[in-house]
Chains A and B, each alone.
Chain A
Amino acid sequence: MDQQSERGAFEFYGSWREYAPIAFTNLLLTIVTLGLYSFWARTRTRRYLWSQTRFIDDRLEWTGTGRELFFGYLLVMVLVFVPLAGIQLLMGALVSRGTQSAAAAAGLLFVLLYLFVFALGGVAIFRALRYRLSRTYWHGIRGGSDDQGFRYGLSYLWRTMLGSAAFGLLVPWALVSLWNERWNAMSFGPYAFRSGATTDGLMRRYLLFYLLPVLVGIGAVVLVVLAIAFGFNPRAAQGGTPASFTPAAAVLLVGIALYILFFVFFGLIALAFYAAYFRQGIGNLTLGALEFEFTARTRDWLKLALGTIALVVCTLGIGTVFVSYRNWAFFVRHLRAYGTLELDQFTQSTTRAPGQGEGLFDSLDMGAF
């Protein structure tokens, strides 16, 4: 099948008017079930979004169910979080014993627990991706992975730790290498995903992000010194005319302005880094003879973020039900694919489909589409 460069290989043709009845009934049912319906709600949302997404000549299909999401969540709660709570109780008991060795044991337990939960976060990210690929069908073919994700959890642990250890300078390396490791374990149909993303072009933006607090700190000191200098000596400078503003007010105003500016800039640079990271990650991803590209630049991400904020604020929060719709539409609209796909060789995935949904991901509250 040839590339379709004019229309783009991916197309999203959903409409918010069609989605609104789904979103609002989801909201209603989630409220009256005290949140229990959210698993089914998410499934309905995805089923709609996937079904309104065309790849080359046919739509995607989401085959996940609310029940498997729900049971996945329950299973994780019972198998992971009940034992964790038990260990915490044990730690409390050790501390209250008061002896030094008991306190040391509790401390050790705490560190181990922390590392374990951290690694679990990696496993959750991996398994959520695997689950989503395994429930996504196109032409009757699905994706998946033969990997359980536990090795990835360990990798996530040490790479993230190492990334932040060197004054955080290796964070981009950690992010990119984890992206590669994750995607290289995934497949769709007979083809394995291959990801060869590098930190090229990421480091510059990251350094900006990294150095901004330092620069702002220096700038703030300079400004405050200037403000105090001018605030304290208006008489000397202007030959005895009374000061029109007090130094305290000046410092306060400059401080507030800097504070706001800092967060605006910080957010922008973080967004710029994230945009580059996403382009880098998807741009170096291949599936068989297919290559992918993600075209969203910082400006596009900013528009998405501001639009979402406006939507949520202006509707007093009700617009939140459209956030996943917006995100998906954004994602598909900027996704490109090039190359060819031989359908007669595009056979069913041989990976084992996971039995449960992304319960681990949910229970660690990691957020999702």
Chain B
Amino acid sequence: METRVWHYDGRSGERRMPAIVPSADERHFMLQGDGADPGPYAFADLEPHGHSHHERAFGLKGRPGWRITFLEFPPSEIAVHLPKPARYGAWIDRFGLWRSAGVLAVLALLVVGFTLKLPPLIARLIPVSVEQRMGRLIVGNLGTYACASPQGDSALKALGARLRQGDDVTIRVVHAPMINAVAFPGGQVVLFDGLIQNAKSPDEVAGVLAHELGHVAHRDGMESLIRQYGLSLLLGGFDSNISGYGNALLNARYSRKAEAGADGYAIGRLQAANISPLPTAALFARLAKQDEDPGSAGILLNYLSSHPLSSSRERQFTQSVRPGVAYKPALDAAQWQALRAMCGDRPAPAL
């Protein structure tokens, strides 16, 4: 019994209905009758071109528009030579849908995991000069709030020197009531006056400052920006959104790991400088307690939201005390007074 197929030759839109006849070698076939070009054609050149219900269509390699369509299921001596229809795509068809989906899901998780690890890697690739320029631009925005006095500046310098601040770090005090301290990119550290006024001793300020120096050393600020803004930060030219980046860093929540890293750095610096870590621990305890007092929420939230306090952080500082060491205050009384008086009595400008 002969099998007829719908046939287009890809040259004209006329449809022919030739009979498909396999050759003796079983690798080729001819199209006979109805004015069709008889061929022969190779089964191996056939490509699946869709199927629906019982119809199955095939094209021919290198002949766009050439089609044969079986309207009924083809007899088995022809069917065995026909290519299988593609379903999801070559690779997925080979392995099966569910197995492919499983493997791909695992790969996707790996890619996502790697992407999450990417910001610190990229942060380290950014040239220091670029980061410094960026930090200067961000902090330049704070210009009107900056506090300065000769004695205060030298006290800051002395504090920085005791914590062995690097040459590329700039510490500034800004006139704002929030209890906060921020490490911007490029070693720009900003202490808020609210923190200094709230502190009971220069050692507390030293502890917080050392923590921020830790963020500087680990380049956490840049990493945080890359996390939040992604590649647009690098490609878009960052000058256009400086205040946005500043705000993002003010409210940045670093990962637990970054915070622990900065704490470890701070403890190391305090030890090397012979400054007691206990006042810093006491500051943490006090802030946590004040946080429960509804009256001070607005001011405190700032530090706590960006540096979540936990008893383990406090304990770490407490446990780093070495018995028998004669600790020296971070600043003497005159320097401490100068630091506290840096922003004067005028009320803070509205942020």
Task: Show the binding face of A for B, using Cβ within 8 Å.
Answer: 25, 28-29, 31-34, 37, 40, 44, 47, 51-52, 58-59, 61, 63, 66, 85, 88-89, 91-93, 95-96, 137-142, 189, 341, 343-348, 353
Q: Are A61 and B49 in contact (CB under 8 A)?
A: yes
Min CB–CB distance A16 → chain B (angstroms): 15
If A32-B108, A33-B108, A66-B89 touch, whether A348 touches B11 (CB-CB below 8 Å) is: yes
Q: Are B101 and A95 in contact (CB under 8 A)?
A: no
Min CB–CB distance A37 → chain B (angstroms): 8
A348–B100 CA distance with the chains assembled, in angstroms = 39
Min CB–CB distance A337 → chain B (angstroms): 15
Q: Does B41 contact A (CB under 8 A)?
A: no
Q: Does B95 contact A (CB under 8 A)?
A: no
If A32-B108, A93-B237 touch, whether A347 touches B88 (CB-CB below 8 Å) is: no
**Cβ contacts A to B, 28 pairs, < 8 Å:** A29-B88, A29-B104, A31-B108, A34-B108, A34-B112, A40-B88, A44-B88, A51-B50, A63-B49, A63-B59, A88-B237, A89-B235, A89-B237, A92-B239, A96-B133, A96-B239, A137-B67, A138-B13, A140-B8, A140-B10, A140-B67, A141-B12, A141-B65, A142-B65, A345-B12, A346-B12, A348-B11, A348-B64
Min CB–CB distance B7 → chain A (angstroms): 9
Residues of B within 8 A of A89 (CB): 235, 237
Name A26's closest neighbour in chain B (CB-CB): B88
Residues of A within 8 A of B107 (CB): 32
Min CB–CB distance B69 → chain A (angstroms): 9
Min CB–CB distance A125 → chain B (angstroms): 25
A194–B137 CA distance with the chains assembled, in angstroms = 58
Q: Encode B204-240 as 1/0 by CB contact (under 8 A) with A.
A: 0000000000000000000000000000000111111
Q: Are A92 and B11 in contact (CB under 8 A)?
A: no
Residues of B within 8 A of A61 (CB): 49-50, 57, 67
Residues of A within 8 A of B8 (CB): 139-141
Min CB–CB distance A169 → chain B (angstroms): 34
The one of A33, A37, A40, A141 in contact with B13, judged by C-beta atoms closer than 8 angstroms, is A141
Closest 5 pairs between A and B when the two form their complex, measured CB to CB: A92-B237, A140-B8, A346-B13, A139-B13, A140-B65
Q: Are B111 and A32 in contact (CB under 8 A)?
A: no
Min CB–CB distance A46 → chain B (angstroms): 11
Residues of B within 8 A of A346 (CB): 12-14
Q: Are A140 and B9 in contact (CB under 8 A)?
A: yes
Residues of A within 8 A of B238 (CB): 92
Residues of B within 8 A of A44 (CB): 88
CB proximity to A under 8 Å, residues B98-138: 100-101, 104-105, 107-108, 111-112, 133, 137
Q: Does B28 contact A (CB under 8 A)?
A: no
Q: Encode B84-101 as 1/0 by CB contact (under 8 A) with A.
A: 000011001000010011
Min CB–CB distance A189 → chain B (angstroms): 6
Q: Are A25 and B10 in contact (CB under 8 A)?
A: no
Min CB–CB distance B89 → chain A (angstroms): 5
Min CB–CB distance A6 → chain B (angstroms): 22
A345–B88 CA distance with the chains assembled, in angstroms = 37
The one of A29, A52, A341, A345 in contact with B92, judged by C-beta atoms closer than 8 angstroms, is A29
Q: Are B235 and A33 in contact (CB under 8 A)?
A: no
Residues of A within 8 A of B104 (CB): 29, 32-33
Q: Does B52 contact A (CB under 8 A)?
A: yes
Min CB–CB distance B100 → chain A (angstroms): 8
A346–B11 CA distance with the chains assembled, in angstroms = 9
Residues of B within 8 A of A63 (CB): 49, 59, 64
A16–B199 CA distance with the chains assembled, in angstroms = 68
